[in-house]
Amino acid sequence: MEVAVPDIGDFSDVPVIELFVKVGDTIKVDDAIATLESDKATMDVPSSAAGVVKEVKVKLGDKVSQGAVLIVVEGAGAAPAAAPAAPAAPAAAGNTAVQATPAASTAAFSQSALSAPAAAAAPSAVTLGGKVHASPSVRAYSRELGVDLAQVRATGPKGRVLKEDVTAFVKGAMQTGVVPGKTAAAAAGASLGGGLDLLPWPKVDFAKFGEIETKPLSRIKKISAQNLARNWVMIPAVTYHEDADITDLEAFRVAINKENEKSGKKLTMLAFIIKASVRALQQFPEFNSSLDGDNLVLKKYFNIGFAADTPNGLVVPVVKNADKKSVFEIAAETGELAKKARDGKLGPADMSGACFTISSLGGIGGTYFAPIVNAPEVAILGVNKSVMKPVWDGKAFAPRLTLPMSLTADHRVIDGALATRFNVYLAQLLADFRRVML
Ligand code: CAO
């Protein structure tokens, strides 16, 4: 199937300034094929077909008009005919003009600036704003990262800002420790609605005070640092503590493990906590949700992530459909995933799709801590090492094995009363695991 330039209004002989596909690429409907740039507007052309690119009929610099074939796609599924499209964004628009066309620019980010919904939302005529020269996809990319395009050094033809320029700008900001310094803070303000206006990160010549050694952060540490920083800043989180009496559960676990000594099958406390958490998520569905704008997305599946400490940093493998698995199965799976994590062999599929995360420091110690919510999840449960505590039973102090729990929840979704109910319920489940069946 041929994919041609759709109706681009009054424009003709528009140069192709960026090509996003090559022969052999597999593309989906709405994937961006090329960016066209007239003297008035820059627009991404989305694919109307899905399949494998067999032929690319244009090259950079070619001038095209409506109907010109850009690529040939094989094995194609076609999109419903797109409505005539309007220019997505002005070629030389600054931030003001971009903000004036939010629907179009958002669509550009999802690489469908010329698809029907975007066209409907885009204005038919756009006034030229500032001086920044960038394609809609680059503008969307910079908005996603909170980067002010005006501050990015352009290396493209005619002073055009390329995607690589935005990436380089962000890298530079991270390396100089301006995270988020004046520039990034101002940019962050665009998405945060206020801006933190933080001082630049303190630059200290540590060597002046004594011997030092500098080691690069591992890749995992760098990635998780960015995620953790975002989640810490963006989520109004509160941590709620509770003690669970796991005396009977631990006795049960030890007894079952003894029975199964020969088979090598082993129940772990983490597996019981995962199973009990699933039950608590079923009881309190808000905990199994994610915020999506003004909507709450409630998930009907129960995938549980667990933090795994590895020599290279923290990773979060995910036990999928934990509600459908036995405690033995969960124990075996967490064991395998933790091993994979330590060996650095987890793939993206092993680490995606979690609904709720458990961070267990039980094998190490500690009393309580405040884990950071793993967005877009809305809550995370931390547990520390269980200890024998004297608990008043009404007549005397009795020694009870007590598991310290720390539940951090996103207050935008979960109020304190609900969080405490969740904790109390979870503690009840762990105190008498038969309740999990109810
Ligand atoms: N209380 C008391 N003992 C506990 C316990 C608890 N809550 N949880 C585990 N233990 C015991 C185990 O029974 C085991 O004892 P044995 O060797 O006698 O059987 C020992 O502690 C070691 O357990 P483990 O930690 O190796 O295994 P696990 O199944 O409990 O946990 C995993 C697996 C992957 C969660 C863990 O290895 C890990 O990486 N934990 C760190 C997670 C982390 O870093 N969180 C912080 C994130 S926020 O910065």
- Nearest atom of ligand 1 to the alpha carbon of 385: 1
Distance from the alpha carbon of residue 69 to the mean position of ligand 1, in angstroms: 59
User: Model confidence over 298-316: pLDDT tens digits?
Assistant: 999 999 999 999 998 999 9
pLDDT at 127 over 50: no
Nearest CA to ligand 1 atom 21: 363
User: Model confidence over 178-219: pLDDT tens digits?
Assistant: 444 444 444 444 444 567 788 999 999 999 999 999 999 998
pLDDT at 244: 98
Query: One of 411, 424, 425, 436 is an active-site residue; which one?
Result: 411
User: Model confidence over 54-106: pLDDT tens digits?
Assistant: 999 999 889 998 899 999 999 866 654 443 333 333 333 333 222 222 232 22
Full-model pTM: 0.63
357 lines ligand 1 (CB under 6 A): no
Which position has the higher pLDDT, 158 or 235?
235
Q: 343: buried, middle or exposed (CB in 10 Å: 19+, 13-18, 0-12)?
A: exposed
SS3 content of the chain, % helix, strand, coil (to 5): 35, 25, 40
- Nearest atom of ligand 1 to the alpha carbon of 383: 7
The single residue listed with the structure tokens 């952060």 is 217
pLDDT at 115 over 70: no
Q: Give the integer Cα–Cα distance in Å for 165 and 354.
A: 33
pLDDT at 19 over 90: no
- Asked if residue 396 lies in contact with residue 342, where contact means CB atoms within 8 angstroms, the answer is no
Output the CA angle 113-118-121, nearest 5 degrees. Answer: 135
Nearest CA to ligand 1 atom 7: 362
| Alpha helix segments (H runs only) across 261-398 | 269-283, 327-342
pLDDT, averaged across the chain = 83
330 lines ligand 1 (CB under 6 A): no
Q: Name every residue whose Cβ is closer than 8 Å to that of residue 25 and which is 6 or more positions away in sequence.
A: 52, 53
Q: What mean pLDDT comes out for the span 115-120?
A: 29
pLDDT at 106: 25
pLDDT at 195: 72
Instruction: Please tell me the least confidently modeled range out of 113-117, 202-206, 283-287, 365-369.
Output: 113-117
pLDDT at 376: 97
pLDDT at 130: 41
Query: Which long-range contacts link 251-254 to residues 24+ away (Cβ below 8 Å)?
Result: 252/433
- Asked if residue 93 lies in contact with residue 25, where contact means CB atoms within 8 angstroms, the answer is no
359 lines ligand 1 (CB under 6 A): yes
pLDDT at 145: 82
Q: Give the integer Cα–Cα distance in Å for 20 and 91.
A: 18
342 lines ligand 1 (CB under 6 A): no
Q: Give the integer Cα–Cα distance in Å for 85 and 423.
A: 53
Distance from the alpha carbon of residue 268 to the mean position of ligand 1, in angstroms: 9
Pocket-testing residue among 270, 351, 430, ligand 1, by greatest number of atoms within 8 A of Cβ: 270
| φ, ψ at 242 (rounded to 5°) | -155, 150
Instruction: Please tell me the least confidently modeled range out of 57-61, 241-245, 357-361.
Output: 57-61
pLDDT at 77: 67
pLDDT at 143 over 80: no
pLDDT at 361 over 50: yes
361 lines ligand 1 (CB under 6 A): yes
309 lines ligand 1 (CB under 6 A): yes
Handedness of CA 180, 184, 186, 192 (dihedral sign): negative
pLDDT at 428 over 90: yes
Note if 411 is an active site residue: yes
**Domains assigned to the chain:** 2-74 (2.40.50.100), 112-191 (4.10.320.10), 236-437 (3.30.559.10)
Nearest CA to ligand 1 atom 46: 359
User: Model confidence over 324-338: pLDDT tens digits?
Assistant: 999 999 999 999 999
